[in-house]
């Protein structure tokens, strides 16, 4: 069973709405497991399959920002959230086993649980609070470079890209001289607000027009390009301006 990127995006959007409005009907009843429960089982034969859904730099713990430096829980396997459904065949051997999905704060892992349940995985739970809560508790985390961690130890993930750790974000583009038709000032806002505000304004633009997005949330460095990609828009510019934050130009394509 495969789930399209459009359907995946709609599920993520539903989670964002749920996190803002705090209403239970946006997500079905999904099982969660606490970091304490997982830690207690860390060195036992009852340890569930741990699926880390973050970007690879976060898994390795060698990213630029604080939340990218935590590393991963021992014995966990990596697979990027947006590619989860395309790896269901690789996950068949775990279909009847207990699986725990892991993300940064415990939100995106809820979406992963819902997707896997729809694909007939029997026992899937979300790690409550994610890696952030695990780190807060002081539980062990592994930081490893790509050279130190053999591919065989992970078994899952997009390693056909060779040495690339994450999908490249378009470089600083100072040559763009086209017209900017609207600016979204999301500085000071955290996920998911920059994406939600951008999505709302983009709908008001005509095809071919350009939206400028200004943010200070480090997570937008990943979220805005991902949002543009899964919705079929063109990311023209991705810039970082130190303490002033980030600037993106997104061209509406459809």
Helix (H) or strand (E) run with residue 7 in it: helix 5-21
Cα separation values, 61 from 23, 51, 131, 145, 205, Å? 33, 16, 11, 8, 39
Q: Where are the domains of the chain?
A: 5-161, 182-251
191 is catalytic: yes
Q: Which of 110, 191, 213, 236 is catalytic?
A: 191
Question: Are the beta carbons of 220 and 247 closer than 8 angstroms?
Answer: no
Give the domain 182-251 fold: Translation Initiation Factor IF3 (3.30.110)
User: Looking at residue 118, what is its pLDDT?
Assistant: 84
The count of other CB atoms within 10 Å of the CB of residue 231 is 18
Q: Residue for token digits 């050279």? A: 147
Each residue's pLDDT expressed in tens, for the chain with a length of 254 residues: 556 667 777 777 776 666 555 444 444 567 899 999 999 998 888 999 999 988 888 888 877 778 788 999 998 888 887 778 878 888 888 888 999 999 888 877 887 888 888 888 989 999 998 998 999 999 999 887 544 444 334 444 433 333 333 334 444 444 466 788 999 999 988 777 888 889 889 989 999 999 999 999 887 887 788 778 767 889 888 888 877 889 999 999 98
Burial label for 197, CB within 10 Å (0-12, 13-18, 19+), is middle
Give the domain 5-161 fold: Oxidized Rhodanese; domain 1 (3.40.250)
Cα separation values, 156 from 34, 51, 52, 183, Å? 24, 9, 10, 39
User: Looking at residue 140, what is its pLDDT?
Assistant: 93
**Phi, psi for residue 225 in degrees, rounded to 5:** -60, -40
């Amino acid at each position: 069973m495969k789930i399209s990127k459009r359907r995946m995006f709609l599920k993520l959007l539903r989670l964002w709405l749920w996190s803002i409005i705090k209403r239970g009907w946006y997500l079905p009843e999904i099982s969660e497991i606490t970091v304490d429960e997982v830690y207690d089982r860390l060195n036992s034969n009852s340890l569930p399959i741990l699926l880390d859904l973050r970007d690879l730099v976060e898994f390795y713990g060698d990213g630029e920002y604080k939340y990218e430096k935590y590393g991963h829980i021992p014995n966990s396997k990596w697979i990027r959230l947006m590619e989860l459904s395309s790896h269901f065949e690789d996950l068949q051997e775990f279909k009847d086993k207990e699986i725990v999905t892991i993300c940064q704060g415990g939100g995106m892992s809820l979406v992963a649980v819902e997707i896997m349940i729809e694909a007939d995985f029997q026992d899937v739970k979300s790690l409550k609070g994610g890696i952030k809560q695990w780190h807060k508790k002081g539980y062990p985390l592994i930081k490893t470079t790509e050279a130190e961690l053999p591919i065989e130890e992970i078994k899952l993930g997009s390693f056909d890209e060779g040495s690339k750790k994450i999908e490249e974000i378009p470089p600083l583009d100072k040559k763009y001289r086209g017209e900017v038709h609207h600016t979204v000032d999301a500085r000071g806002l955290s996920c998911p607000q920059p994406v939600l505000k951008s999505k709302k304004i983009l709908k008001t633009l005509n095809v071919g027009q350009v939206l400028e997005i200004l943010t200070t949330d480090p997570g937008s460095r990943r979220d805005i390009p991902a949002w543009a990609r899964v919705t079929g828009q063109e990311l023209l510019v991705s810039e970082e301006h130190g303490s002033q934050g980030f600037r993106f130009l997104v061209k509406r394509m459809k």
